[in-house]
């Protein structure tokens, strides 16, 4: 039986799906452009703007549903998490754009590539794909993997930053610092996203919040 | 409405009845209550605890037994011919169904407001409010006047009728009549208030006033309200019980039941997938 | 949607199109129904007119207050008969109404069992009894036992006629009071008899009074039972143990006499009887309908508001 709210929920899922695909694409493009020197700034810029406008669409749709249908239970949690997740998506798009800007500003930094950079970017790409998939399938088991990946990125971030201060190559050091920063932020948002997905499925709210707050304080 | 393929299993029901048991006092406890009409059980072995000064909502599809259960809390089924009630209903640790106590005396501790406003048609506003008092032997005019003012104020009706208490009750609007019934129920100084879909026959503004009244009353009274309006349950109640086909499926804090119901039936019902 | 627009149009075309003809039929039916009402009313109306026409000239102060004169003289009046009718109606009501009301209350409020069902059945049968049979019964039970005609016997017989009507109408009026008022009373902790007498009866007053008036009108005109119980007389009321006069008896006696003057007095008596019955009816209704707190007045007022 189709309820009044069902078409709106389907539309919400659809938009979120589109956003997810765009996020994966934009981050892959951004990272690749950094690593191998291609200029993808315009593409990523366009994608980032699309993601942002879809974020507003999701907001409007959410409040429309609240106004009309006063959703409860599963519907309610899905809608609430979609707000948080679409915000995370918009941040991903933004960071992707920021990364291409680094490449644009600094020029070709492909020679600055090193092992830890490769590792962290690989992790990020994987993490984003897993996060988007996890939302599409509402599969909370992937959350554990996402958290592991995030911890790796964090570790790399903490290890590399002090080393960069002593580096001779200013350009590479600065570029890498910026990149690592953006990657670390992407990681955090991915964890928030997995929390939101967890909320939809289990009803438990914000389990990772405390952990993240505590380690951001240490810096 | 097609029959549901999900049957409430006992284990699942038990798990979803986890309320936060803390040391706050329970005003009313219904224990193992079973109500049958002509030997056919309509309410099956229900146990519910109602905290003092709280509002508990009972929701569920038509025919689930919520009104039947509500009415056993003040022994209304004594009036019904083929109804039989087993189990205990305790107020302050006195079982209402104990054979040795006087049901009429204890029934006064529990007031009731009905779905369709039913002020006594041949009486004035004043007489309606005092009906439970005068007809039970309370005669002192001064005390009656005090109680009338107090009850009407609590029901948010005093300002609208204070200038003409002798007016006939049926000249009031639907919402006013219902508030009059609330005042009448409060006049007998109950401790628990039962409300059977009190706003379902009223327009939205009147409904809002009734809900505001409930929010004020809950500071002093324990209120149990049957409603089929789920948004109303979310707005006014602290605890919610979901009943289906005579069983109590889930009983939890309202916010938790509506955002994260533990039982599949509950989730289906509150999201409008049946009922 | 399996029904297409074309199909819907086909459905629409199925409806009868002959609107004018159907309006005519409608009008015709209305006229026929109205005509039937008129046909029914005409005899009643003409009776009233006849009685009034023929009886008005007999009315005088003397006629209304004096005892009957010698047969055929045209003198005297029907004073004792008027007094007798009022007395017998009053006495019968005193006996029949309370018993009838109590039975009605029992049947309505406490009567959901087999005993009540049988009582109800016999009550309905009783209502259809020919009044002459009840008169004979009263004759056997009271007149024969006591050895003389008396007012007691008459009151007894008429109350037998009254009681089932009052019981039935009381029961129906009480049943018409919605159960929700009883529930409200129960929820307030009131005892059952309090609820019945102070709340339910209060709301059913109008119907109950109608029933009582119906039965009063009925017995006001009963003749056969009176023949066998109070017999009739030419004197004013003296005691309960002797015969008494009543208007139906007087009308009967007068109409059998061959004298014109007697006939005239008969018409006059009939007119008086009708006026008394009418008066009781209207008077009681007016009294209850116009009281500010009366349920009838309230409902009338509310009905007017609702229409607006």
Could you tell me if B121 and B83 are in contact, meaning their C-beta atoms sit under 8 angstroms apart? Answer: no
Query: Which residues in chain A are contacts of B234 at CB distance < 8 A?
Result: 70, 72
Give the model confidence (pLDDT) of B130-182 as tens digits.
999 988 788 899 999 999 999 999 998 999 999 999 999 999 999 999 999 99
Residues C29 and C97 in one domain: no
Is pLDDT of A193 > 70? yes
As for the ipTM of the complex, it is 0.86
Question: Could you tell me the pLDDT band of residue B21, with boundaries at 50, 70 and 90?
Answer: very low
* Higher pLDDT among residues B3 and B137, named by residue: B137
Residues C24 and C125 in one domain: no
- The span from the CA of A132 to the CA of A136, in Å, is 6
Query: Which residues in chain B are contacts of C184 at CB distance < 8 A?
Result: 112, 114, 118, 120, 181, 184
Q: In which residue ranges of chain C is pLDDT below 70?
A: 1, 290-308
Compute the count of residue pairs across chains A and B with CB atoms less than 8 Å apart.
32
Best C178, C181, C188 member to test B by mutation, with max B CBs in 10 Å, is C188
Closest residue in B to C177 (Cα) is B121
Three-class secondary structure of residue C59 per DSSP: coil
Is pLDDT of A136 > 80? yes
Please report whether residue C74 resides in a domain: no
Give the model confidence (pLDDT) of B254-266 as tens digits.
999 999 999 999 9
Best CATH choice for the domain A6-211 from the list 1.20.58.220, 3.40.50.720, 1.10.240.10, 3.40.50.150: 1.20.58.220
Give the CATH number, domain containing residue C248. 1.10.3720.10
Could you tell me if A58 and A135 are in contact, meaning their C-beta atoms sit under 8 angstroms apart? Answer: no
Q: Give the model's pLDDT for residue C240.
A: 81
* Contact across the interface for C180 and B118, Cβ inside 8 Å: yes
Give the model confidence (pLDDT) of A139-155 as tens digits.
888 888 888 889 989 99
Domain-terminating residue out of C41, C56, C71: C56
Q: Considering chain B, what percentage of its residues have pLDDT values greater than 90? A: 71
Residues C152 and C35 in one domain: no
A172, A178, A179, A183: CA torsion to nearest 10: 150
Is pLDDT of A78 > 80? yes
Residues in chain A: 219
Token couple for C269: 């008596």
Q: Give the model's pLDDT for residue B73.
A: 93
Give the domain extent around C148. 80-255
Residues C92 and C221 in one domain: yes
Please report whether residue C86 resides in a domain: yes
* Contact across the interface for B120 and C203, Cβ inside 8 Å: yes
| Sign, Cα dihedral of B257, B262, B263, B265 | positive
pTM of the model: 0.81
Residues forming a β-bridge with B46:
B33
Please report whether residue C100 resides in a domain: yes
Residues C188 and C45 in one domain: no
Q: Give the model's pLDDT for residue C304.
A: 46
Mean pLDDT of A185-195: 92
Q: Give the model's pLDDT for residue A219.
A: 43
Question: Which residue is listed with tokens 């409300």?
Answer: B195
Give the model confidence (pLDDT) of C288-297 as tens digits.
776 644 555 5
Residues C36 and C120 in one domain: no
C110 part of contact set with chain B, CB < 8 Å? no
The residue ranges of every structural domain in chain A are 6-211
- The span from the CA of B41 to the CA of C180, in Å, is 24
First vs last C-alpha separation in chain B? 7
- Say which residues have a Cβ less than 8 Å from residue B178's Cβ, sequence separation at least 6: B113, B117, B198, B199, B201, B202, B206, B210
First vs last C-alpha separation in chain C? 41
Please report whether residue C230 resides in a domain: yes
Q: Give the model's pLDDT for residue C292.
A: 45
Mean pLDDT of B30-51: 92
Residues C43 and C154 in one domain: no
Is pLDDT of A133 > 50? yes
What's the structural domain count of chain C? 2
Please report whether residue C203 resides in a domain: yes
B168 part of contact set with chain C, CB < 8 Å? yes
Reported as type and span, the H/E element at residue A41 is helix A41-69
Cβ neighbourhood burial of A141 (10 Å; 0-12, 13-18, 19+): exposed
Is pLDDT of A91 > 70? yes
Vertex A58: Cα angle to A72 and A193 (nearest 5): 75
* Higher pLDDT among residues B23 and A51, named by residue: A51
A41-48 CB contacts, 8 Å cutoff, 24+ apart: A41/A97, A41/A100, A41/A101, A41/A103, A41/A104, A44/A96, A44/A97, A44/A99, A44/A100, A45/A97, A45/A100, A47/A22, A47/A93, A47/A96, A48/A93, A48/A94, A48/A96, A48/A97
Closest residue in B to C193 (Cα) is B135
């Amino acid at each position: 039986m189709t309820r009044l709210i069902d078409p709106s929920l389907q539309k919400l899922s659809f938009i979120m799906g589109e956003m997810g695909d765009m996020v994966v694409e934009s981050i892959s493009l951004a990272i690749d452009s950094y690593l191998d020197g291609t200029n993808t700034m315009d593409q990523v810029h366009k994608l980032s703007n699309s993601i942002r406008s879809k974020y507003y669409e999701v907001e409007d749709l959410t409040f429309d549903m609240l106004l009309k249908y006063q959703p409860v239970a599963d519907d309610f949690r899905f809608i609430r998490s979609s707000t948080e997740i679409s915000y995370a998506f918009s941040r991903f798009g933004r960071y992707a754009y920021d990364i291409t800007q680094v490449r644009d500003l600094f020029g070709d930094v492909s020679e600055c590539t090193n092992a830890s950079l490769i590792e962290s970017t690989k992790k990020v790409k994987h993490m984003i794909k897993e996060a988007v998939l996890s939302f599409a399938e509402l599969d909370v088991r992937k959350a554990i993997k996402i958290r592991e990946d995030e911890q790796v990125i964090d570790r790399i971030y903490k290890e590399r930053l002090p080393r960069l201060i002593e580096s001779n190559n200013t350009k590479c050091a600065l570029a890498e610092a910026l990149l690592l920063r953006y990657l670390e932020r992407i990681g955090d948002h991915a964890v928030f996203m997995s929390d939101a997905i967890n909320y939809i499925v289990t009803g438990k709210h914000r389990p990772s919040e405390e952990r993240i707050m505590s380690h951001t304080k240490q810096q | 409405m097609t029959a549901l393929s999900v049957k409430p299993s006992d284990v699942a029901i038990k798990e979803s009845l986890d309320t936060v048991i803390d040391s706050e006092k329970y005003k009313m406890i219904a224990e193992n209550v079973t109500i049958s009409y002509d030997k056919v059980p309509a309410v099956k072995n229900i146990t519910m605890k109602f905290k003092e000064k709280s509002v508990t909502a009972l929701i569920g599809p038509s025919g689930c037994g919520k009104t039947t259960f509500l009415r056993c809390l003040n022994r209304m089924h004594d009036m019904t011919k083929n109804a039989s009630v087993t189990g205990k209903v305790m107020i302050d640790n006195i079982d209402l169904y104990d054979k040795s106590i006087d049901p009429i005396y204890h029934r006064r501790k529990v007031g009731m407001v009905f779905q369709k406003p039913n002020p006594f048609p041949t009486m004035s506003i004043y007489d309606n409010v005092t009906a439970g008092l005068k007809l039970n032997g309370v005669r002192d005019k001064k005390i009656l006047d005090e109680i009338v003012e107090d009850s009407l104020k609590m029901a948010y009706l005093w300002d609208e009728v204070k200038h003409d208490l002798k007016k006939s009750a049926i000249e009031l609007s639907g919402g006013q009549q219902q508030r009059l019934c609330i005042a009448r129920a409060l006049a007998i100084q109950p401790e628990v208030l039962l409300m059977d879909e009190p706003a379902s026959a009223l327009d939205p503004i009147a409904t809002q006033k009734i809900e505001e009244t409930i929010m004020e009353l809950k500071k002093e009274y324990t209120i149990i309200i049957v409603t089929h309006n789920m948004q109303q349950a979310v707005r006014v109640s602290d605890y919610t019980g979901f009943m289906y086909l005579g069983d109590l499926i889930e009983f939890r804090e309202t916010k938790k039941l509506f955002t994260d119901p533990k039982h599949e039936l509950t989730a289906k019902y509150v999201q409008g997938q049946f009922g | 949607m399996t029904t297409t627009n074309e199909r819907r149009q086909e459905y629409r075309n199925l409806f009868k199109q002959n609107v004018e003809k159907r309006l005519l039929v409608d009008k015709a039916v209305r006229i026929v129904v109205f005509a039937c009402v008129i046909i029914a009313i005409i005899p009643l109306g003409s009776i009233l007119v006849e009685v009034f026409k023929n009886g008005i000239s007999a009315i005088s102060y003397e006629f209304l207050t004096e005892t009957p004169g010698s047969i055929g003289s045209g003198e005297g009046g029907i004073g004792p008969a008027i007094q007798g009718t009022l007395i017998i109606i009053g006495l019968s009501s005193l006996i029949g109404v309370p018993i009838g009301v109590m039975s009605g209350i029992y049947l309505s409020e406490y009567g959901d069992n087999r005993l009540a069902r049988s009582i109800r059945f016999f009550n309905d049968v009783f209502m259809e009894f020919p009044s002459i049979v009840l008169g004979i019964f009263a004759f056997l039970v009271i007149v024969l036992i006591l050895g003389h005609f008396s007012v007691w016997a008459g009151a007894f017989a008429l109350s037998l006629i009254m009681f089932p009507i009052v019981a039935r109408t009381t029961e129906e009026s009480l049943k018409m009071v919605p159960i929700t008022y009883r529930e409200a009373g129960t929820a307030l902790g009131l005892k059952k008899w309090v609820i019945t007498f102070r709340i339910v009866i209060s709301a059913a007053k109008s119907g109950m009074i109608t029933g009582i008036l119906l039965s009063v009108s009925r017995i006001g005109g009963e003749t056969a039972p009176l023949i066998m119980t109070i017999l009739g007389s030419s004197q004013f009321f003296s005691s309960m143990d002797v015969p008494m006069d009543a208007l139906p008896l007087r009308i009967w006696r007068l109409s059998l006499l061959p004298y014109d003057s007697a006939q005239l007095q008969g018409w006059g008596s009939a007119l008086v009887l009708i006026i008394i019955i009418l008066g009781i009816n209207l008077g009681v209704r007016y009294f209850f309908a116009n009281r500010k707190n009366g349920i009838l007045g309230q409902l009338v007022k509310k009905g007017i508001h609702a229409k607006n």
